[in-house]
Amino acid sequence: MKLTLKIWRQKNADAKGKFVTYDFDGASPDMSFLEMLDAMNTKLIKARIDPVAFDHDCREGICGACGMYINGHPHGPGKAITTCHLSMREFKDGDTIYVEPWRAKAFPVVKDLIVDRTAFDKIQIAGGFISTNVGSAPDSHAIPVEKRKADEAFDSAVCIGCGACVAACKNASAMLFVSAKISQLALLPQGRIEATERVQAMVNKMDELGFGNCSNTGACEAECPKEISLVNIARLNREFYFAKIQ
């Protein structure tokens, strides 16, 4: 496949970035998008051009490291996949492909397609946990959990923290990300104890870090590689209001 790649190049956080065009003639439909970039980088390295930097690790859609804005979509075309699972079968010979980093105030660009997502960690540190010490747990069956709720908690817990929701949102809101964790823990009896404090701490931290608000367009849900549902945001709001009036 012959491709024209327009890739965002930016030396570091302070430098000004720009699109650079690469004509690349070495892709095949059997490749994943990242393998295609690897192949292109090999060419750049041999030509003594600085290769395009991007985050990636597990390459099986679970670590959440990779994330590029491809042709106007986080993780590119295709539903419910990460960039590493994006196949070149989705493109055709002669295509022009635009590749950008996540764009959000809270995710500054580090280099090229790498952004700094430590803001996500900071939100989790603010309260995304159940305070239980090692060794203090009762037998797992001491507290039964309704299967329906356990399954729902699991569906919220599959978030991989990639940041596609923020990148997709016109407000760069982290509501889907935050609500997934809030929901998981709010649905389980073990998590109810700290629910009031947790939701306030995490929401406050989210606001403080410069993420925008939610205006219910649903772009986050549509682009989430793990199909985290908007229902989580509704639950977050409910938890938050209850916490406020308590």
Partner 1 sequence: MTKLDAKIPEGPLAEKWTKYKASAKLVNPANKKKLDVIVVGTGLAGAGAASSLGELGYQVKNFCFQDTPRRAHSVAAQGGINATKNYKNDGDSIYRLFYDMIKGGDYRSREANVYRAAEVSNDVIDHFTAMGVPFARDYGGNLDNRSFGGVQVSRTFYAKGQTGQQCLLGTYSSLNRQISQGTVTMYPRREMLELVIINGKTRGIITRNLITGEIERHSAHAVVLATGGYGTIYYLSTLAVNSNPSAAWKAHKKGAFFANPSFIQIHPTSIPQLNEYQSKLTLMSESLRNDGRIWVPKKKDDKRVANDIPEDERDYYLERRYPAFGNLVPRDVASRAAKERCDAGYGVGKTGLAVYLDFRDAIKKQGEKAIEAKYGNLFELCRIITGINPYKDPMHIYPAGHYTMGGLWVDYNLMTTIPGLFSIGESNFSDHGANRLGASALMQASGDGYFILPYTISNYLADDIKTPRISTDNQEFEDAEKSVKERLEKLVSINGTQTATSFHKRLGEIMWNYCGMSRNEEGLKKAKQMLKELKDEFWTDLIIPSDLNDVNQELEKAGRVADYFEVADLMVDDALNRTESCGAHYREESQTPEGEALRDDKNFSYVAAWEYTGELKPYKLHKEELKFVDVEVKERSYK
Residues 87-146 that bind partner 1 (CB under 8 A): 87, 89, 110-111, 114, 116-118, 120-121, 124-141, 143-146
Identify the residue among 6, 22, 38, 237 touching partner 1 (CB under 8 A): 38
Identify the residue among 65, 167, 169, 176 touching partner 1 (CB under 8 A): 65
Number of amino acids touching partner 1 (CB under 8 A): 76
Smallest gap from Cβ 172 to partner 1, in A, equals 18
Q: Does residue 59 touch partner 1 according to CB under 8 A?
A: yes
Q: What is the Cα–Cα distance from 106 to 120, expressed in whole angstroms?
A: 9
Amino acid, single-letter form, for residue 193 = I
Q: What is the Cα–Cα distance from 9 to 243, expressed in whole angstroms?
A: 44
Amino acid, single-letter form, for residue 174 = A
Smallest gap from Cβ 177 to partner 1, in A, equals 12
Identify the residue among 14, 23, 30, 93 touching partner 1 (CB under 8 A): 30
Q: DSSP labels for 128-147?
A: -S----TT-PPPGGGS---H
Identify the residue among 3, 5, 7, 31 touching partner 1 (CB under 8 A): 31
Q: What is the Cα–Cα distance from 35 to 1, expressed in whole angstroms?
A: 13
Q: Does residue 12 touch partner 1 according to CB under 8 A?
A: yes
Residue among 82 and 173 whose Cβ is closer to partner 1: 82
3-state secondary structure of 200: helix
Show the site string, 185-204: x = touches partner 1 by CB under 8 A, - = not. x--x-xx-------------
In the chain, the DSSP E strands lie at: 3-9, 18-24, 69-70, 73-74, 96-100, 109-111, 114-115
Residue among 90 and 217 whose Cβ is closer to partner 1: 90
Q: Does residue 55 touch partner 1 according to CB under 8 A?
A: yes
**Which tokens sit at 18?**
């720009």
CB-side neighbour CA atoms (13 Å) of 219: 18
Q: Does residue 51 touch partner 1 according to CB under 8 A?
A: yes
> Which range of residues in 1-9, 57-65, 97-105, 209-217 is near partner 1 by CB under 8 A?
57-65
Q: Does residue 53 touch partner 1 according to CB under 8 A?
A: yes
Contacts (CB under 8 A) with partner 1, residues 152-181:
153-154, 157-158, 160-161
How are beta strands 73-74 and 18-24 bridged, if at all?
A: unpaired
Identify the residue among 14, 23, 60, 93 touching partner 1 (CB under 8 A): 60
Residue among 94 and 135 whose Cβ is closer to partner 1: 135
Q: DSSP labels for 31-81?
A: SBHHHHHHHHHHHHHHTT-PPPP-----SSS-S-----EETTEET-SSSS-
Smallest gap from Cβ 112 to partner 1, in A, equals 8
